[in-house]
Amino acid sequence: MEIAPGAFHLKGYLPIERQRAFVGSCRALIEGEVPGYVPVVRGGGKMHVRMLCLGRHWNGKTYRYEPIRSDYDQREVPPLPSAFRDLACEIAASAGMTLDADLCILNYYDADGRMGLHQDKDESERSLAAGVPVVSVSLGDTARFLFGGVRRREPVEALLLESGDAFVFGGPARLRYHGVTRIVSGTAPPELGLSGRFNLTLRQY
């Protein structure tokens, strides 16, 4: 469903077996050798998600990408798994767009997780100018997602992102504000054995 020019909500995109496989990968990564962590952003506030960047690290202090987690533990960012890259390419194509993802921001939201309204604008000028899409994949508990305009003050639409949904925003929608106001706890499909929500945003720097 196209909810605005360049923005598509692909409900129920991933069947449960594929969701299970990606949840397994997300768990292993976020609890892995280079684990997820709660970023502290440049104003000094803690984010309300546990984050792990893959392929390139997004530094919450500088709002820039880098190969080393210099705002946290100086570790090298883990690579982007090819299955994540392929998934991004496949979903973008379903929305009529092209994405050769080289990074993913993997977020875990617990029952109190949320993310303020923001733009994804730290990728390269070239990628942003071309409107290369961001592909978002939701797994686990439902999220109340806000999608606004290209200015903060513009009206926002609220929609529910459920487990298995994909959301794509590119072209004229690439710089639209978005955020997550709340997690609807206990709504994850029981087959996933997951409490909380994983969200992957796949991007091309």
Ligand X SMILES: O=C(O)CCC(=O)C(=O)O
Q: Which residues form the interface with ligand X (CB under 6 A)?
A: 105, 107, 115, 120, 136, 143, 145, 161, 178, 180, 199, 201
| Cβ-contact 120, 134 below 8 angstroms | yes
Closest distance of CB 26 from ligand X, Å: 13
Q: Which two tokens stand for residue 172?
A: 């004229």
**Closer residue to ligand X in complex, CB, 102/120:** 120
Closest distance of CB 46 from ligand X, Å: 16
Closest distance of CB 6 from ligand X, Å: 16
**Closer residue to ligand X in complex, CB, 52/143:** 143
Spatial CA neighbour of 164 closest among 112, 199, 193: 199
**Closer residue to ligand X in complex, CB, 16/159:** 159
**Closer residue to ligand X in complex, CB, 7/115:** 115
Which residues face 146 on adjacent strands? Answer: 158, 179
Q: Of all residues in this chain, which one has the CB nearest to ligand X in the complex?
A: 199
Spatial CA neighbour of 48 closest among 197, 156, 160, 195: 197
Task: Name the 3-class secondary structure at 143.
Answer: strand
Closest distance of CB 101 from ligand X, Å: 13
Closest distance of CB 143 from ligand X, Å: 6
**Closer residue to ligand X in complex, CB, 136/204:** 136
- What is d(CA 117, CA 115) in angstroms, rounded to the nearest whole number? 7
Kindly report the length of the chain. Answer: 205
- Region of 44 (left: φ > 0; alpha: ψ -120 to 50; beta: rest) is left
**Closer residue to ligand X in complex, CB, 66/122:** 122
Task: Name the 3-class secondary structure at 53.
Answer: strand
Closest distance of CB 107 from ligand X, Å: 6
Please report, for residues 8, 32, 67, 187, the alpha-carbon distance to residue 38 in angstroms, rounded to integers and kept in the order given: 29, 15, 18, 23
